[in-house]
Chains A and B, each alone.
Chain A
Amino acid sequence: MSAFAELATGFASALTPWHLLMCFAGVFVGQLVGALPGIGPSSAIALLLPLTFGSDPTSAIIMFAGIYYGAQYGGTLTSVLVSVPGESSTVMTRIDGYQRALQGRAGAALGIAAIGSFIAGTIATLGLTLLAPPLARAALAFGPPEYFSLVMLGLLALAAVGGSLLKGLTAGFFGLLLGTIGIDQQTGVSRFHFDQVWLLDGVEFILLTVALFGVGEVLASCNMTSLQPITRVKNLLPTRDDWRASWMPILRGTGIGFFIGVLPATGATIASFIAYVAEKKLAKDPSRFGNGAIEGVAGPEASNNAAASGAMVPMLALGVPGSGTTAIILGALVMFGIRPGPELFDKNAALVWAVIASMYIGNVILLIMNLPLAGLFAQLLRVPYRWLYPPILVLCVAGVYSQSNSIEDAWMLVAFGALGWGMKRYDWPAAPMVLGLVLGPIFENSLRQSLVLSHGSASIFFTRPISLALIIFAALIVIAPACRRLYRGRAPAVA
């Protein structure tokens, strides 16, 4: 069946009342958490994981995807209105968006951002529709060595997304290490349970995710009490001049965002940064940038939304997440008993196509929500964080406790929550840790199967072309930042 025929079946599923409701709930929550500083899409998905456990995976993943791309829209509100990015990917929008707000033109900035995000989100979802299936088909030839190399690439790529590769790798290895707790799937040996029966089941993905992204985020943000004055939102529809200046940046931002989103080890934040720099370089009068240039809003906004859809390509086709939030969605797939990777399009086609179709629908819902209702969402920014975080914490405790009615899990939530706070405080990325825990068993099994195939020789990873290519790509991710640092160190200082 062609991609469009599959997409049609996806629409048939996504347009059922329950899936539509979940799509709406997802983008609404995404918009909300994107707008509220102190809670992001990763935290929102983490908090909802326990509520969706045991439910229909398609509706849950539709909702999680909605939260992910909906948050890109929501983050714009705070960037433009209060100069505080709700999401890291909207940092660049803040520069010119807030300047426009100070000039009394916040409405047009939000309008262009919403329309640009819609166009970019839709085009990028079309790109996802066309690119992901052939990529997955090509990857169907993967055997254990290729899976081993793919998991290694995924872990290294996610570790490289944050500011420090060293900290990212440390988090990733700690996640892998946690994944060894419990009974070894292949040999049946119980490992690292320290004579505690409750540790035989290992560390649950939900527990770690809720602790790091729920409790950890709250502890890192609970000092945040001050409220910024919020600019009034009016005249959301852009003028003819705004539109004339914005349509090319929107298209360029879409291309840049999608391309960067598809690449592992990048993400929406880098995409929006590159789009902003590109617009500034191409502008006839670059001095307008930083003083409220509409292109400085249109390009980065289109770019971060396109990157969000682009990041779904490697996540769905290969099982390699391009961002922290897609890593959690990947973990959710595993939680539902679905093996991520190239087989997803083959064995769970109904789920994948329903999710892709829901992304088209979600973008329309977000456009409707953002044009007439932007002012209403802006009012939500007036809710102080001190009212919000205590209910988030009890939801974390209830969610984790309810998984296995285990008080030990609740204690582990406290411990990992404290760890998450420390990691957030010192800028250690938490997503590689979650991914390490999720992919650890696949990593170990594929290593063992590969070595059995090769009679114990590690050369199998280097003699199979796809595996070798993946290893080279993974090595580049590690080597490139070191080379860049070395080059910068040797380059003559420019006065």
Chain B
Amino acid sequence: MSARLDVGEVILAIALLAIAVLWVAVAAGMPMWEGFSPQAGFLPLIYGVALAALTLAILIARLRSAPDAGAEQGPIGKPLIVLAAIAAGVGGIELIGFATSMFLMLAFLYCVVERISVIPGLLVSAATSAALILVFRTWLGVPLPLGPWSF
């Protein structure tokens, strides 16, 4: 098996490193110490430096060592499509209403991603959306956004 770098984990570590650097930069402009007590910028600076050091250590370890040959991470295509479906569902909440947006997200996941027959897929999507509205809007009284057609 050829040694292949785990790009995903490197991206994850770099993203956290970037956040750590941002934290250090912002915290450096805040008050650090007054009298006997640390101020608003002190601990965020420490956290940022520590996080940067830890992510660098992970990055170095990952770049120096061969990836774990036994690690099977599975394909990323389907999780990315599911993630995109959630993002689209969230994006639709204020445009077409909570219930419709969630129904469409469910229908997409069942009928397109999972290739479940259209009728059972749509029925389960409708039942789940209805149950959600019943619990959150009717039972818990949460004002979930309505669509242009008032549901």
Q: Which positions in A face B, CB cutoff 8 Å?
A: 51, 166-167, 169-170, 173-174, 176-177, 180, 184, 187, 189, 191-192, 215, 218-220, 222-223, 386-387, 389-391, 393-395, 397-398, 401-402, 405, 407, 410-411, 413-414, 417-419, 421-423, 425-426, 428, 443-444, 447-448, 451-452, 454-456
26 A-B residue pairs with CB within 8 Å = A166-B54, A170-B54, A174-B19, A180-B23, A187-B31, A187-B40, A189-B30, A191-B26, A219-B79, A219-B83, A223-B75, A387-B116, A390-B110, A393-B82, A394-B102, A397-B89, A401-B142, A402-B144, A413-B86, A414-B86, A419-B12, A421-B79, A425-B8, A443-B43, A444-B43, A455-B36
Min CB distance A397 to B, Å, is 6
Residues of chain A lying within 8 A (CB to CB) of residue B39: 187, 189
The residues in B between 6 and 30 inclusive whose CB is less than 8 angstroms from any CB of A are 6, 8-9, 11-12, 16, 19-20, 23, 26-27, 30
Min CB distance B139 to A, Å, is 9
- Counting chain B CB atoms within 10 Å of each CB, which of A169, A173, A187, A413 scores highest? A173
Beyond the given pairs A177-B44, A398-B98, 14 more chain A to chain B contacts, judged by CB atoms under 8 angstroms and listed by A's residue number, are: A51-B135, A166-B54, A167-B58, A177-B19, A180-B23, A223-B78, A394-B132, A398-B136, A401-B93, A401-B142, A417-B86, A426-B8, A426-B73, A448-B37
Residue contact A386 to B116, C-beta cutoff 8 Å? yes
Residue contact B124 to A387, C-beta cutoff 8 Å? yes
The residues in B between 76 and 119 inclusive whose CB is less than 8 angstroms from any CB of A are 78-79, 82-83, 86-87, 89-90, 93-94, 98, 102, 105-106, 109-110, 114, 116
Residue contact A414 to B87, C-beta cutoff 8 Å? yes
Residues of chain A lying within 8 A (CB to CB) of residue B54: 166, 169-170, 173
Residue contact B93 to A173, C-beta cutoff 8 Å? no
B47 within 8 A of A: yes
Instruction: Find A426's partner among B6, B44, B106 (CB 8 Å cutoff).
Output: B6
Residue contact A426 to B114, C-beta cutoff 8 Å? no
Residue contact B102 to A173, C-beta cutoff 8 Å? no
Cα–Cα distance between A398 and B40 once the two chains are bound (Å): 34
Chain B contact-residue range equals: 35 or more
CB closest residue in chain B, given A403 = B142
Residue contact B37 to A452, C-beta cutoff 8 Å? yes
Min CB distance A12 to B, Å, is 29
Cα–Cα distance between A473 and B9 once the two chains are bound (Å): 31
Quick one: given A173-B54, A421-B79, A426-B8, are A192 and B106 in contact (CB under 8 Å)?
A: no
Residue contact A448 to B38, C-beta cutoff 8 Å? yes
Min CB distance B66 to A, Å, is 15
Instruction: Find A390's partner among B43, B78, B106, B143 (CB 8 Å cutoff).
Output: B106
Min CB distance B101 to A, Å, is 9
| 10 closest A-B pairs by CB | A456-B36, A189-B40, A402-B142, A390-B109, A426-B9, A170-B54, A386-B114, A219-B79, A177-B47, A410-B90
Residues of chain B lying within 8 A (CB to CB) of residue A422: 8-9, 11-12
Cα–Cα distance between A174 and B37 once the two chains are bound (Å): 23
CB closest residue in chain B, given A396 = B86
Residues of chain A lying within 8 A (CB to CB) of residue B8: 422, 425-426
Quick one: given A222-B79, A223-B74, A402-B136, are A191 and B48 in contact (CB under 8 Å)?
A: no
